[in-house]
A = this chain, B = another copy of it.
Amino acid sequence: MAMKAKKINKMLDEAIPLRHPLKLNEAMRYSLLAGGKRVRPILCIASCELNNSDESLAMPIACAIEMIHTASLIHDDLPCMDNDDLRRGKPTNHKVFGESTAVLAGDAFLSFAFEHIACNTNNVSPDRLVRIFAELSSVIGSKGLVAGQFVDIESEGKVVSLKELEYIHVHKTAKLLEACVVCGVIIGGGNDNDIEKVRIYARFIGLLFQVVDDILDVTKSSVELGKTAGKDLVSNKATYPKVMGIDEAKNFAYHLMNQVVQQLACFDTAKAAPLYHLAYCIANRQN
């Protein structure tokens, strides 16, 4: 996984050269190359490899997905949104480059992601690429990331139901994860059954992540978490432990993990190893 991340970082670095207008490209590079575990591109490449296809097929799409993710982070941090000063321990994009540049850097990524796929994907039939475009574009806008961020902003300071929380989580996080694996399988030549399996896999790990997050909030201390523990209890936020009780929430997480394993059973175990690994990491994380 570390080797994959290194290769992805190299490709991302090469994708945005320092050309005119310099400051705009600097701003794009600042956020794109600010670290991060590259979970999304790794998922995309691993899904491509499920069908013995080479990672190079999926690399442009994997990079494009990281660009889309970066665009959403830059815009989410803006003063008119979450107004965050820090991201991964570094000043946010608008803090360094100014608000107008941050808006434009995000905009540039949203279109460059598609340009990068269209111009750099080789040895793939155009009909597969059109499917990728349809899949990927649908998880960004008013049915995806943007919708999640919109409802998140609108629900600030209000009593948030579990249904609304799930809506936000599905749209802000889970849909893009789903696009990672689905696009990976499509580009790797997987069939409709493979696509369906990884689609459900992605939904389960998305949900698993949220349930584990909620459990950690009530079972760990602030020191163990590295952030304020018990926040969900004092806020009006609905959580799985609150709604179903802590034991039932743990059972639910266990059930989700079993479902994940089931979805991957039809693939070669060695090829599916990164997808298993990611699910185990999510289920067993301690902070």
Contact = CB atoms under 8 A, between A and B. Distances in A.
B146 A118 contact: no
Interface residues of A, number: 51
A85 interface: no
Nearest to A139: B111
B115 A138 contact: yes
Nearest to A94: B80
Given A111-B110, A112-B141, A129-B126, A119 B134 contact: yes
A137 B121 CA distance: 15
Interface string A72-89: 000100101100000000
A222 interface: no
Interface in A123-148: 125-127, 129-130, 133-134, 137-138, 140-142, 144-147
Contacts of A145: 107
A191 interface: no
B104 A107 contact: no
Most B CB contacts (10 A, CB to CB) among A28, A112, A118, A140 go to A118
A28 B142 contact: yes
Contact of A108 (B21, B24, B133, B142): B142
Contact of A146 (B80, B104, B119, B141): B104
Contacts of A138: 115, 119
B110 A110 contact: yes
Nearest to A135: B118
B154 A23 contact: yes
Interface of A: 16, 20-21, 23-25, 28, 71, 75, 78, 80-81, 98-101, 103-104, 106-112, 114-115, 117-119, 125-127, 129-130, 133-134, 137-138, 140-142, 144-147, 149-151, 153-154
Nearest 10 interchain pairs by C-beta:
A111-B140, A126-B126, A80-B99, A115-B137, A118-B134, A108-B141, A114-B137, A126-B127, A111-B141, A112-B141
11 contacts: A16-B142, A23-B150, A24-B150, A80-B100, A81-B103, A107-B146, A108-B141, A108-B147, A111-B140, A118-B137, A126-B126
Given A75-B104, A108-B146, A111-B144, 6 more contacts: A28-B142, A71-B107, A108-B142, A111-B146, A118-B133, A125-B126
